[in-house]
Amino acid sequence: MHKVYYQPEGIWVGDIMPYGEDGTFYLYHQRDTRNPEPFGEPFGWALATTKDFVNYKDFGESLERGGDEEVDQYIYAGTVFKVGDKYHALYTGCNRDKVRARLMKQVLLHATSDDAVKWEKNIAETLLPPQEGYDDRNWRDPFVLWDEENEEYMLILGTRVGEDKRLMTGRLVKFTSKDLTNWEFQGDWWNPGLYTMFEMPDLFKMGDWWYLVFSEYSDGNKTRYRMSKSINGPWITPADDSFDGRAYYAARTAFDGERRVLFGWVPTRDEGGDPSSYLWGGTFMPLEIVQRADGTLGTKLPDSMLGAFGEAKAVEAFELSCESGKVEQVLAADAGSTYMLDADIELAGDAAGFSVKLAEDAESGLAYEFRANLREGKLEFTAAPQYPWFQVNNMGLERPLFFKGEGTHHVRLVVDDDIATIFVDDVALNARFCNKQGQGVALTVTDGALKCANATIASLWRQRTVL
């Protein structure tokens, strides 16, 4: 069971609709029981709140699902926002059985609350049904914000044209309203021709920049972003337009007054089948957004989570050097199943790369590996050795890296049972691994020299509490 990241016992966390207010984050989320399979029993929105991502208060189901004959048999993703003293939820209602039989459509519905815990639904009012020409089975995940410039509410949602999911017809469409009751359809808002469908769109401003966050419904399955100086674009694609790799999905952001945090989930894997396949839902992992000087975005572990770890044990500074090939230094033969590693890494300018090996077995040498491949300019998760131990082949677990070894770089690794998260400076990569061989952790360098300083390993001492 995970001790750092949030996953209620016996439950797999699906899409999260985050809302932040006065230092508290509200995690409205779908709970999958895996009975009998992923995306099994119908669900509403459960609620948990947290201030530090260590301790949570669990309210159970907050926005209750409808019956098996109702339009919101499943409550898919939506958005929560506050106007005056009233909380609003615009959400996607779906009766999966009837949609498949073409007896119903996916529709947008409205609920209100005085305390953000218990909601009053207005099922009689079907809000914003699919417009003509769009796929009525893929009309979901609305996001609402107030457009100050035009003094109106703006709603964007993901859909597609036609029913052939092989075609790249996914787009975001836009509605506007002055009163949250009467909405006007504005047509396509962003149609890049790149994806079959969009999920979980999000729009926010930080400094002088607007950011559009979305998850691509395709083989890549990444949460990506675009940036613009205007709320309506045109949208610039940064050189690295994703927040993580394949093992982090459906992330939306929320702002609590101080921090803007991404709320996504690390998917589970089909351990009995193809190890490169992923299942819907998994474990919530927060990534706090960092804005760089050029406006592009990085991420970090929220500082409040550091309080979950005990006193760190220092690792003596060392150097590694190898003219041709790869050498390693063991940092801990048994780091345990849950720990955090921090280290400052300085590379010689011509070094091919370095890696952090985890779950390493001292006798066999089998391990998993986060590898900074500087010659190819990427951070990747793989197995060590790669042959014949094909455990993470073709899993899409990689991110671009744009430095060539100059300067000192900070590395942070968090291991929580079968989930590992690495940060190289402000570039994050999550992974979920199977068939763990050991609990050792080591550092390597390839074709060059490395200096490691200020390295520490801290074990978990304050287990997450859920009230």
User: Which residue matches tokens 């001492």?
Assistant: 461
Residues 6+ apart with CB under 8 A from 428: 243, 244, 248, 287, 298, 299, 300, 399, 421, 422
Please report the pLDDT score of residue 387 as a whole number.
58
Which residues in the chain show pLDDT less than 50? 389, 394
Question: pLDDT digit string (tens) for 143-186?
Answer: 999 999 999 999 999 999 998 888 999 999 999 999 998 999 99
The model scores a pTM over 0.75 = yes
Q: What are phi and psi of 159, to 5 degrees?
A: -160, -170
Sign of CA dihedral 295, 300, 304, 306: negative
Residue (of 341, 338, 296, 346) closest to 319 by Cα position: 346
Integer Cα distance of 242 and 399 in angstroms? 8
Please report the pLDDT score of residue 394 as a whole number.
45
- What does DSSP assign to residue 433? -
Cβ-contact 154, 141 below 8 angstroms: no
Pairing assessment for the beta strands 278-291 and 260-269 based on DSSP bridges: antiparallel
